Chain A
Amino acid sequence: MNILVKRSGNEEAQTYTPDVDNTTLLAALNHIKTKIDPTLTYAHGCRSGVCGSCAVRVNGREVLMCEYKVQEGDLVEPIRNARVIRDLIVDSSDIERFNRTAKAWSEGSKEERVSEEEASRIETQSDCILCTSCYSACPVYAINPDFIGPFALTRVWRYVNDARETQSTEKIAAVQTNGIWDCTLCGECVPVCPQNIAPKQDITMLRMKSAMMGYQDPNAAMAFGGGLDFGGGSF
């Protein structure tokens, strides 16, 4: 089988021909590394789709190497929007940066009973494995490298929507700049999520919550040109 891998320092993809069939991309790369080319560099961990280490792009689409069945002629590239360190390994520091900026954590939780229904409404969002596939698929980074982005915003919604959470005002405030309003709702992040999370929907929910709390879409104000101040203000 022929697999093409985009490697650092090389414009052209390198072709490998491992002797494998009907297997995951990760198993194929492990075969290449241990038997053909030990310099091929990639990240992996659990082999079972839960540690989030092995996201790459295959033929332009984000996948986890351990879950994707490799096909003849596949082109494998590192994920986008992050600095490539070597071959398929990218700088992962944005995980910490965006989660910190978004204050994606519980500020305080009350110890009351929650209903089955309340517990289940954050089930999907808390399945996130931080593989950053959504971040790779997001076109906003081309314009704004400081965009808090899909995984961190989903995480904020996961805490804001948690029935036990006592304090969500700071989190909502934290995602106003470079956050929910910068998203174009294009939905590119949705189909690439290996855990079936829809960050676009979560961002929409955060917008509604923000509006209820008195925040405004800065782009909506700008859409009117911002020139006419009928509210008085300073002429």
Chain B
Amino acid sequence: MARILIIGGGGAGLVSALSAQKSGAEVMVVSKTVPTRSQTSMAQGGMNAVLGGEDTIARHIEETLRSGAGLGEEERIAFLCENAPDAVRWCNLLGLPFSCDAEGEIARRRLGGASAPRACHAQDYTGLKLLHTLYDQCLKAGIAFRNERFLLNLIVDHEENRVVGATFLDIASGEVEEIRADAVILATGGYGAIYGKHSTNAVGSSGDGLAAAVRAGAKLADMEFIQFHPTALKNSSILISESARGAGGYLVDEQGDRFTDELAPRDVVARAIHDEISKSGGVYLDIRHLGEEFINHELPQERKLARIYEGVDPVNDLIPIKPSAHYSMGGIEVNEACMSSVKGLFAVGECANHKTHGANRLGGNSLLELVVFGRHCGAKAAEYGAKNPASSSSNPQLAKDTNFVRGVMYFTNQIDFYQKQEMLANIFYNNVGLVRDDMGLKAVLGAIRQMQKELPFMGPRDKSKVCNTNLVEFIEFGNKIELAEIIVVSAISRVESRGAHYRVDAPVRNDRMFGAHTVTWKEEGVLCADFME
């Protein structure tokens, strides 16, 4: 029986787990938190699927492709959209409590960039309810969980370019352990937390899986593409779902006047808001005209969040907003079978680049992606593992990582990494955000290289072996720095504007030179980048 190790207990990890087990594999899910605490719980808007009516799958494909601005691949997008109705039916059969319309059909709402109401939802708790439904099904299936394990590195047989397992820090005990497997699926989520307080993401979205993958020799693709959600709360960057605009909410300036099409794709709306804020100082979301009853029923979470974090009641008040880093389009480069450039290493969900979102993701396509590709990836990994059992020969990775965790305690701590982390978040938001230019990017690259040199002079100040979250946060910071360099190098290389990547010094899309994926990898620790079809 193939042993499949799944790293990450969010939606993508749990769907893959169910699928791999159904394909006959022995599955273990290892997560740095309790699975229901994953980032997926924060997804609000819905899951796109064409379920009849006037809408067509061809339109779903076309709109996803258009939003991707030339970097989405038609075949994979077709796979995503054609499998969407079945994905929604599958979730329904698992018990996901979708909202229903008056006819008893699964309720759908229109999100930005879509020509029809297509996002199947469970109020504004779609991600939460999907994640919990999946978790319950995993318990039913008897899937083994190892929670509160922090991924350190993948174990790779370099001769064969073949993954054979991974090493983890057991956070509670402080011990380093290895788990061997015939195939490994990374489902570790995105890297939005690099933007710190300017991101809608959970604090743990530090790209640990991507950083481990690149250290293991895997390729990443399109890392410069980071989606900014148009409407996060101004002070906390907490997300206000696109469904608020889908339901008819307005974006207004300081004078209360509308200034843009609220339902254009996210990159367009986010830049319009950015420009308006630069011009007049503030932008607000106005949903007052939707009425208290509608808000309570359809947008209960938004009302609660606006009250707690901004001190305003959307029934009576304007909601102050700003665009915030929201979704990582870039990720581990994978083929049609979701396998990376390292044999046996699969990736799925936000940490992967399935080439479906291209340069800009459509709202409602990320939950869809994790279900469609999760089912596919689990089956493919199980198949690969069954055909290619990994050898259990000895590997130095566990010893190396054990030494690292011991050694990091002796780092000198002359420099406070929390301070550097905050600085990284601010310079990323300002210079690697919605609007970029060569000079600004190069300044950030200089700062990142400096931080890389300074890492040994930072380190955890907490010396406890047991449950050392200061240590975990320091390693997360290391991962952020590793990826930050790759993101900025990719952004410098792409001297054009496309989707979420907007360069004021090259505002036009240039297909002839840059109509390709930015592929990055490391050779002997040196970062390499190239544009590849």
- State the A residues within 8 Å of B (CB): 24, 33-35, 38-39, 41-53, 67, 85-86, 89, 91-93, 95-96, 99-100, 103-107, 109, 111, 113-116, 118-119, 122-123, 126-130, 155, 158-159, 162, 164-165
Contact = CB atoms under 8 A, between A and B. Distances in A.
A44 B460 CA distance: 19
Nearest to B44: A50
A119 B464 contact: no
Interface string B45-68: 000000000000000000000000
B439 to A, nearest CB: 30
A-B interface, 8 closest residue pairs, ranked by CB to CB distance from nearest = A106-B95, A113-B104, A105-B136, A86-B467, A34-B418, A119-B100, A105-B140, A39-B462
B128 A159 contact: no
Contacts of B37: 45-46, 51-53, 130
Contact of B42 (A46, A89, A93, A127): A46
Given A92-B34, A129-B128, A123 B202 contact: no
Contacts of A99: 136, 139
A49 B308 contact: yes
B361 interface: no
Contacts of B132: 126, 128, 130
A106 B137 CA distance: 7
B249 interface: no
B238 interface: yes
Nearest to B462: A39
Contact of A129 (B36, B139, B467): B36
Contacts of A86: 464, 466-467
A79 B492 CA distance: 48
Interface residues of B, number: 60
Max count, chain B CB within 10 A of own CB: residue among A44, A48, A91: A48
Contact of A51 (B139, B202, B419): B202
Given A38-B460, A39-B462, A45-B33, A119 B147 contact: no
Contacts of B94: 106, 109
A24 B172 CA distance: 26
B520 to A, nearest CB: 29
B277 interface: no
A89 to B, nearest CB: 6
Contacts, number: 156
Interface in B98-156: 98-105, 122-123, 125, 128-129, 132-133, 136-137, 139-140, 145, 147-148
B244 to A, nearest CB: 15
B402 interface: no
Interface of B: 33-34, 36-39, 41-42, 89, 92-95, 97-105, 122-123, 125, 128-129, 132-133, 136-137, 139-140, 145, 147-148, 172, 202-204, 236, 238-239, 301, 304-305, 308-309, 418-419, 422, 460-462, 464, 466-470
B42 A48 contact: yes
B41 A50 contact: yes
B95 A105 contact: yes
Contacts of B468: 41
A115 B104 contact: yes
A118 B301 CA distance: 21
A53 to B, nearest CB: 5
Given A109-B93, A109-B95, A38 B461 contact: yes
Contacts of B419: 34
14 contacts: A33-B470, A39-B464, A49-B304, A50-B41, A86-B464, A96-B139, A104-B136, A106-B95, A116-B102, A116-B104, A118-B100, A122-B97, A126-B129, A130-B37
Given A33-B418, A155-B136, 14 more contacts: A35-B418, A38-B460, A51-B202, A53-B34, A53-B37, A86-B466, A91-B172, A104-B136, A105-B137, A106-B136, A109-B94, A118-B100, A126-B132, A159-B95
A130 B466 contact: no
Contacts of A50: 41-42, 125, 128, 301
Contact of B203 (A39, A44, A116, A155): A44
Given A49-B308, A51-B41, A130-B132, A39 B470 contact: yes
A110 to B, nearest CB: 8
B145 A96 contact: yes
A209 B51 CA distance: 35
A29 B97 CA distance: 35
Contact of A123 (B123, B147, B304, B470): B123
B139 A119 contact: no
B88 to A, nearest CB: 11
A42 B473 CA distance: 12
A116 B92 CA distance: 15
Contacts of B38: 45, 51
A93 B139 CA distance: 13
Nearest to B89: A111
Contacts of A45: 33, 37-39, 202-204
Max count, chain B CB within 10 A of own CB: residue among A45, A106, A107, A118: A45
A142 to B, nearest CB: 24
Contacts of A158: 97
Given A39-B470, A109-B93, A129-B36, A116 B139 contact: no
Nearest to B103: A113
A24 B461 CA distance: 25
B140 to A, nearest CB: 4
A130 B133 CA distance: 12
B125 A165 contact: no
A104 B135 CA distance: 10
A115 B38 CA distance: 31
A38 B471 CA distance: 9
A109 B129 CA distance: 16
